[in-house]
Structure 1
Amino acid sequence: MDKEILEKYIKAGRIAAKVRDECKSLVKPGKNILEIAEEIERRITELGGELAFPVNIGINNIAAHYTPEKGEDILLREGDIVKIDIGAHVDGYIGDTAITISLGEYEDLLEASRKALNEAIKLLKPGIKTNEIAETIQKTIESFGFRVISNLTGHGLERFNIHADPQIPNVITSNNYMLKEDDVIAIEPFATTGIGFVKDLDEARIFSVLIDKRNMLRSMEAREIYSFGIKRNGLPFTSRWLELSKIKFRLGIKELKMKDMIYPYYILAEKEEAMVAQFEHTIIIKDKPIVTTIYDE
């Protein structure tokens, strides 16, 4: 890997890690999740990074892809478990990291996910296969008496691409990829008190434009959204980053969906509405792997 690219990955990871660690003080009962999201995103840019994707705040059974909208007034409560998934980038090179914070019980659930991540990282080196990682994640989480969410995976990272190959499964699959030197991956074990499966909630608040699809657009709203997404080089965004009203944003998204020019990230929730915990790091594969999303003063 080119030295300059490596430095950008490390810088992005350090920024994401610092903000992740700082956000622990924001997550407390009575706090508005919109305020939390805006503060996290503000800090990423303040520290010299750019937003790789809207901060995900998943409460309790919500596993992924939930971000607050403008004007939303959802307050955290005692007993919640709160997943914060953060992405920063430097010139398109991404640091992706997540943490779960408990406002009540479920410390064992958090520890299951956290330990699974740490045990998986210990295995990493060129030549390791993804099923070896998956087996360790699954065994670790199940040793705590919980289940792994089988249809959520980690993933590769590339420039301006948050979900590149390879997939890093949390359970053994038929696609057993061998990691090679300089692969950049995000490992994110999801542990749950439920059956270990997520479902779409048929609502999306995070979107990416498909930059290879350039059809004619009729509405101003659709053109504005698509232009915004192109300027982000296809990285995800959300409605509160644009000046459009909620109604106009939805109209624009509707046209873009009809013309297959946008990808919606549907909110994912545990199928039985059970609790979910998640921890995540970004790692560059080397003989001695580089975990970019660890922050040291």
Structure 2
Amino acid sequence: MGDAAVELSSTTDELAQLRIEKEGHSLKDTAVTNGHNPEKEGEGDAGVSDIKKKKKKKRKKKKKTGNTENGDDNNNEQPKSPTEQTDPPSVPISRFYPNGGFPVGQLHEYIDANSYRTTSAEMRDRERIEEDLYESVREAAEVHRQVRKYMKPYIKPGVRLIDMCERLESANRALVGAQDGDLSRGIAFPTGCSLNHVAAHYTPNKGDNTVLQYDDVMKVDFGTQINGRIIDCAWTVHFNPKFNPLVEGVQAATEAGIKAAGIDVRLCDVGAAVQEVMESNEVELDGKVYPVKSIRNLHGHSIGPYQIHAGKSVPIVRGGEQVKMEEGEFYAIETFGSTGKGFVIEDLECSHYMKDFNAPRVNLRSSKARSLLSTIDKNFGTLAFCRRFLDRLGEEKYLMGLKALVDSGIVNPYPPLCDQKGCYTAQFEHTLVLKPTHKEVLSRGDDF
């Protein structure tokens, strides 16, 4: 093979020499100028080396060309999955899982009379039927985990709460892939950042410049939803270690509630388990010891599609309902502990609102109220919203219209829930689903 290649090369050179000499050029000149004589530009034919170069260029073009069967060079190429998230987050979580398969939450086997479920073929078959549902809620849970991961380094003394909430909500919208007017995916409710004696339902309204302080105890509570399947999850932020016993006690109480929950478990038994752990704690603040109390008129709840409170309440004290948890139900197991009375009332300026799930049909006289209701239906449906969300959508001078919707029973207000001033409250919360074979804590992460 080698000798044949040399012969062919020699023959090619001879033919080239004859051709060049015929045109009145020397092979030497052609070699020196590499097929191009700058003094006689445009004269003569290209040399052999030029011919080879042109062929090589054509080959390179072919390599760069994509699928051209339909006259389209590169448009048929599949987009690559991203390898890492941007900062701030801008790539929806779904892009990292193009074929689905979102992370499974923490699995708990059922015990006692339901222990057979773990290995039951019938239960596994029933579970497979709901796989699309589990995919939706697992995607929402992964969004929640990633938003938490992004936000935690940012939350520190000196930050304005309104800035914190808007940053968190922007990340939430980006990661879940939310679009205004599309209810299939988005924020499930406003970001709660209730401070100290305020236990729940506080988020800053426009103009509220409250700044987080070193001695604050803040409950961060936010939600994500995909196809109406809601992840409701919360934790408590504090910086002064003197609050450790309070915060750790409330977290342990939430874990007790998760452990107690299950198919056929009575809601009152979950409440008893929570209270036992919660009220075994005490905290010393400025030389005085305070028992940690369960806030008896706050509770966890069942969750339905586009319905944050779906009808069943999970108490955090003894003596609740005898109603049983059932297969297929979603629950937010949340606990609140307090150094105060252990009882909350509505107080302060309202920021949270939600259209009633069974809102009555009312003939609204106010055109502003009708317009505002249209905005609510389009962007929130029966999910909770706050004034800042309306501001973001460009609504102006809407308070009278909002009041008309509240007065008519179409929209419900949810003012901040407060224990006695001067006390401190803490909260932890996870969302779980009672699948046929396992209890899955969907919102569980490396952080808590």
TM-score range for the pair, normalised by the shorter chain length: over 0.9
Deviates more, 1:122-131 or 1:177-186: 122-131
Q: Is the 8 A contact 1:17 1:97 kept in 2?
A: no
Residue 123 of structure 1: aligned partner: 260
CA offsets per residue over residues 243-262 of structure 1, 9 Å max, x none? 233xx222112211222221
Is 1:87–1:96's contact at 8 Å kept on the other side of the alignment?
yes
SS of residue paired to 1:227 = helix
Secondary structure, aligned partner of 1:25:
coil
Q: Secondary structure at the match of 1:260?
A: coil
> Partner amino acid for 1:92?
G
Deviates more, 1:88-97 or 1:280-289: 280-289
What residue identity is the alignment partner of 1:226? L
Code of the residue aligned with 1:138 in structure 2: it is: Q
Q: Choose the corresponding residue for 2:170, options 23, 30, 42.
A: 42
* Post-superposition CA distance 1:83-128 (Å, at most 9, x none): 1001000011000000101021311100011111112212232121
**Corresponding letter in the other structure for 1:113:** V
Query: What does residue 289 of structure 2 align with?
Result: none
Contact 2:159/2:212 (<8 A) preserved: yes
**Percent identity of equivalent pairs:** 31
Cα shift at 1:279:
0.4
Name the SS for the 1:54 alignment partner.
strand
Amino acid at match of 1:82: M
Q: Which has the larger radius of gyration?
A: 2
Q: Does 1:154 align with 2:304?
A: no
Corresponding residue to 2:441 among 263, 267, 291: 291
Q: Contact 1:12 / 1:89 at 8 angstroms: preserved in 2?
A: yes
Q: Does 1:5 align with 2:141?
A: no
Give the AA of the match of 1:129. R
Q: Which amino acid aligns with 1:275?
A: Y
Whether contact under 8 Å (1:24, 1:101) holds in the other structure is no
Secondary structure of the residue that 1:278 maps to in structure 2?
strand
User: What is the Cα-based RMSD across aligned positions, in Å?
Assistant: 1.8
Matches within 5 A, 1:1-297: 2-48=130-176, 49-104=185-240, 105-145=242-282, 146-201=292-347, 203-210=349-356, 212-231=359-378, 232-242=380-390, 243-245=394-396, 248-286=397-435, 287-295=437-445
> Letter of the aligned partner of 1:58 in structure 2?
S
Measured after TM superposition, the shift of residue 272 of structure 1 is 4.6
Unaligned runs of 5+ residues in structure 2 are: 1-126, 177-184, 283-291
The structure carrying a bigger helix percent of its residues is 2
More divergent stretch after superposition (188-197 vs 121-130): 121-130
Instruction: Report which structure shows greater RCO (CA 8 Å, sep ≥6).
Output: 1
Q: Displacement, 1:21?
A: 3.8
TM-score (norm 2): 0.63
Ranges in structure 1 where 5+ consecutive residues have no aligned partner: none
Render the CA deviation track for 1:119-170: whole Å, top value 9, x for unaligned.
2212232121112211111011111131000000000101000011210100
Q: Deviation of residue 288 (structure 1)? A: 2.4
The AA in structure 2 aligned to 1:30 is G
Cα distance in structure 2, aligned partners of 1:165 and 1:37: 28
Q: TM-score, normalised by structure 1?
A: 0.94
Deviation at 1:296, TM superposition (A): 6.0
